[in-house]
A and B are shown apart, each in its own frame.
Chain A
Amino acid sequence: MIRVALPAHLRTLARIQGEVELEVEGPVTLRSVLDALEARYPMLAGTIRAHGTGERRPMLRFFACGEDLSLESPDAALPDAVASGAEPLLIVGAIAGG
């Protein structure tokens, strides 16, 4: 079970309360987790990764276990604690606007 914590606006958009819990088949990577997230909640497609390029939107970052994973390869394995569900993958919006 993979746990994902979303920014408030995306929780509202997907009508989610609290963390999302996902089953991911195969290697647990940013790409496989986001694929599973968007498959469960298609309205989130394009809001975290750009349509077409699949690149992270510029004002979002990925964190887990106290580490900034934003610049990691989307195919790199996520920390064991994320893969085991002990720690969530955090999707965080940049602080901007005042």
Chain B
Amino acid sequence: MSRVRVLVGTKKGAFILSSDGKRKQWDVSGPLFAGWEIYHMKGSPVDPDRLYASQSSGWFGQVIQRSSDGGKTWETPGGSPVIERGRMPSGESNKFVYDVSPETGKPLRTHQWYDGTQHPWEFKRVWHLEPSLADPGIVYAGVEDAGLFRSDDGGQGWHELAGLRGHGTGPKWSPGAGGMCLHTILLDAGNPRRMYVAISAAGAFRTDDGGHSWLPINRGLRSPYIPDPNAEIGHCVHHMAMHPSRPDVLFMQKHWDVMRSDDAGASWHEVSGNLPTDFGFVVDVHAHEPETIYVVPIKSDSEHFPPDGKLRVYRSRSGGNEWEELGRGLPDSNCYVNVLRDAMAVDRLDSCGVYFGTTGGQVYASADAGDSWMAIVRDLPPVFSVEVQTLP
């Protein structure tokens, strides 16, 4: 029987929640890396025992952790003691250095700050790790201040795909409330040269040549709270999702507005429809129904909790516009948590499982595509991210 493993990153460590295919009884292990912020943890699609975790701290900076046995043991890639005399310390697994070399042709050192002035580009942390669809040793990292890095050796050494920051609009990128982070990386299973990323508050971008050159893909986004609501960049994209079978169809939860593109991001149109509020952070797609999507409406940009204190997932079976409220098993009152942008995921079992974590420390699971929900755990630290692995 298939199993699922839910990887949960929190403000004070990581947790692994495991169940069989029924998804009723859960084993909870953790905290891993107790006391550290775990922004994201994700497994390789081709080797489910290979996991990567982003571990960070305001005191000690960034650490990358890697597991080769499904999370039982962990190592910092390249962290073995250096034996050779005179050799400089490696410590490369947490060495994220922006590429400002003239060879890129576009050295870039500053971006726009909140007050409109230029501000130095400073590495702060890894928000999202996206393992390759083909090679467990290749992994991408989306970082704050926004940039995209790639490792070809299992997370030990990292190099920036500098064409993203350098494509021209970089100096106009500015931070959102959570910082200037690259938080979404979508890989196209049918075209290894194509990928999408999203940045708060710059927008969405696409490459068709493996990350060498990039194109802003924000036409159709409208953000009335920025000087030019229809600007090429400057939109606060909160998250994007894609079904692997239809890589040209993208869904986006923007700061406000739920959006859809049917042409690989060349244009977007709003599909908020009858949602009670179209502010929110997460969006995801059913594993087997590419037109079935999920969001968690949040009251507003200043009130980061569900409307009326009622935690609800909304599901559209028509790719947007027509939404149904899903609340069986979710709090009906006095609930004032948030669901952060990387904190929703789906499994690939026959009856698609949907999972999300809250800033109140709950992780909810639905084994029936959202019709009903149960809390796997209720009292974790604030949840930053949720990923799911479907195991044989």
Residues on A facing B (Cβ under 8 Å) = 7-10, 12-13, 35, 38-48, 50-52, 57, 59-60, 93-94, 96
Contacts and interface: CB of A to CB of B under 8 A. Distances in A.
A48 B57 CA distance: 11
A41 B61 contact: no
A9 B82 contact: no
B61 A50 contact: yes
B310 to A, nearest CB: 31
B36 interface: yes
B61 A46 contact: yes
B58 A9 contact: no
A48 B59 CA distance: 8
A39 to B, nearest CB: 5
23 contacts: A9-B36, A9-B60, A12-B35, A13-B63, A35-B88, A38-B89, A43-B76, A43-B91, A43-B93, A43-B94, A45-B89, A47-B60, A47-B61, A47-B94, A48-B60, A50-B61, A51-B91, A51-B97, A60-B60, A93-B59, A94-B59, A96-B58, A96-B59
A93 B34 CA distance: 16
Nearest to B63: A13
Given A42-B89, A57-B59, 8 more contacts: A42-B76, A47-B60, A47-B63, A51-B94, A52-B97, A59-B58, A60-B59, A96-B58
Interface of B: 34-36, 57-63, 76, 78-82, 87-97
Nearest to B95: A51
Contacts of B91: 38, 42-46, 51
Contacts of B81: 39-42
B61 A39 contact: no
Contacts of A10: 60
Given A46-B94, A46-B95, A52-B97, A39 B89 contact: yes
B82 A40 contact: yes
B35 A9 contact: yes
B76 A13 contact: yes
Contacts of B79: 41-43
A52 B98 CA distance: 10
A38 B89 CA distance: 6
Nearest to B35: A9
Contacts of A43: 63, 76, 79, 91, 93-94
Contacts of A59: 58-59
B207 to A, nearest CB: 26
Q: What 7 A-B pairs are tightest by C-beta distance, nearest first?
A: A45-B91, A38-B89, A43-B79, A43-B76, A47-B60, A45-B89, A46-B94
Nearest to A57: B61
A45 B63 contact: no
B391 to A, nearest CB: 28
A18 B60 CA distance: 19
A46 B62 contact: yes
Contact of A42 (B35, B59, B80): B80
A8 to B, nearest CB: 8
Contacts of B80: 42
A9 B58 CA distance: 12
A7 B59 contact: yes
Contact of A45 (B57, B59, B94): B94
Given A9-B57, A51-B94, A39 B62 contact: no
B82 A39 contact: yes
A47 B55 CA distance: 11
A35 B60 contact: no
B288 to A, nearest CB: 41
A35 B61 contact: no
Nearest to A96: B58
A51 B82 CA distance: 17
Which of B57, B58, B60, B63 counts the most A-chain CB atoms under 10 A from its CB?
Answer: B60
Which of B34, B59, B90, B92 counts the most A-chain CB atoms under 10 A from its CB?
Answer: B59
Contacts of A7: 59-60
B61 A45 contact: no
Contacts of A46: 61-62, 91, 94-95
A44 B92 CA distance: 10
A2 to B, nearest CB: 16
Contacts of B60: 7, 9-10, 13, 47-48, 57, 60, 93
Contacts of A50: 61
